[in-house]
Amino acid sequence: MRRGRFTGYWLMLPAGLWLALFFVIPFYSLLATSLFDPEGSVLTGYSVDYRFANFVDALQQFWEPLVRSLWYAAVATAICLVLGYVLAYAIAFKAGRWRTLLLVLVIAPFFTSFLVRTLSWKLILADDGFVVDTLQFLQLLGDDGRLLATPVAVIAGLVYNFLPFMVLPLYASLEKIDGRLIEAAGDLYASPTRGFLKVTLPLSKPGVVAGTLLTFIPAAGDYINAALLGSPNQRMVGNVIQNLFTSTGDYAAAGALSVILMVIIVALVMLYIRTAGTEELV
């Protein structure tokens, strides 16, 4: 095909500009905001005075929700990995001609509003609801025990909301595995368990890495589950940032906390990718 030398640039330009203006440059604005003098306000204007103490203040004041976010996200990601692996494995190897239908069902929860779905968990886990009653009957929960406003409810919500992000990449990498390799393991007298551990699991590693990242990152920044299913005791860092921006109007602290969250996540992701030793993410 004949092509102009610059066609590629022209085609890329509009989307590239949009992302540069509204995705890349905003990070600089955020960084600038995090160095504001906290005495300013939206009305009087802020001055950037390279106040690095904002970071120290933010960490001192909000280390608890920050650590809690990372902890909840890690637990939710681990549970998602187990549930997601089972589901992805079943779809890839056991579903036969129902594969496509099951895949549609995996993304179907996205079809209705995230908030509406999370609110319906509030109903499912309600104090006089079916789940709490059953757990109380089985003596797994005290008579005045509850699920709402506990870490259990928040983590259950996170698991539920981000599970499809785990299942899809896992399925994509499981589906690519050559079935003959697993058969070969069996022919060489490996038990199914051993075959799974030595063949299937290592071959699905890119899916595991992509899935855990796509689950952990949004979960760590989420505040909807903590706000709707938890209490102030389950406050996550997202709740704090959004409050500082919209209610308190403390832009300097909110900016500093956002930068800290981003830096921690980028560091964890890089460490994780290096440890897992995979580069075929992008």
Beta strands in 168-282 (DSSP E): none
Tell me if 215 sits within 8 A of 77, measured CB to CB.
Answer: yes
Q: CA distances (Å), 175 to each of 110, 159, 197, 280, in order?
A: 22, 23, 17, 16
Question: In terms of Cα–Cα distance, which of 266, 269, 214, 217 is closest to 238?
Answer: 217
Residue 282 interacts with other proteins (CB under 8 A)?
Answer: yes
- How far CA 263 is from CA of 34, 50, 267, 269, in Å, comes to 13, 18, 6, 10
- Sole window of 1-9, 53-61, 139-147, 270-278 interacting with other proteins (rule: CB under 8 A): 1-9
Give me the least distance between CB of 218 and other proteins, in Å please. 6
**Cβ atoms of residues 162 and 215 within 8 Å:** yes
Q: Any bridge partners for residue 48, and if so which?
A: 36
User: By CB neighbour count within 10 A (0-12 exposed, 13-18 middle, 19+ buried), where does 172 fall?
Assistant: middle
* Residue 206 beta carbon to other proteins: minimum distance, rounded to whole angstroms: 15
Q: Which of residues 154-193 bind other proteins (CB under 8 A)?
A: 160, 163-164, 192
Q: How far is the CB of 56 from other proteins (least distance, A)?
A: 19
Q: What φ, ψ does residue 18 adopt, rounded to 5°?
A: -60, -45
Task: Please report how close the Cβ of residue 15 comes to other proteins at its closest, in angstroms.
Answer: 4
C-alpha distances (whole Å) from 112 to each of 82, 157, 165 are 25, 15, 16
Site string for other proteins, 105-144 (x = CB under 8 A): xxxxxxxxxxxxxxxxxxxx-x-xx---------------
Q: Which position among 75, 78, 83, 273 is part of the footprint of other proteins (CB under 8 A)? A: 83
Task: Output 205 or 228, the one with its CB closest to other proteins.
Answer: 228
Q: Closest approach of Cβ 277 to other proteins, in Å?
A: 19
Q: Which residues in 200-259 contact other proteins (CB under 8 A)?
A: 213-214, 217-218, 220-224, 228, 237-238, 241-242, 245-246, 251, 254-255, 258
| Residue 100 binds other proteins (CB under 8 A) | yes
Q: Which residues within the stretch 28-67 sit at the binding site for other proteins (CB under 8 A)? A: 29-30, 32-33, 42
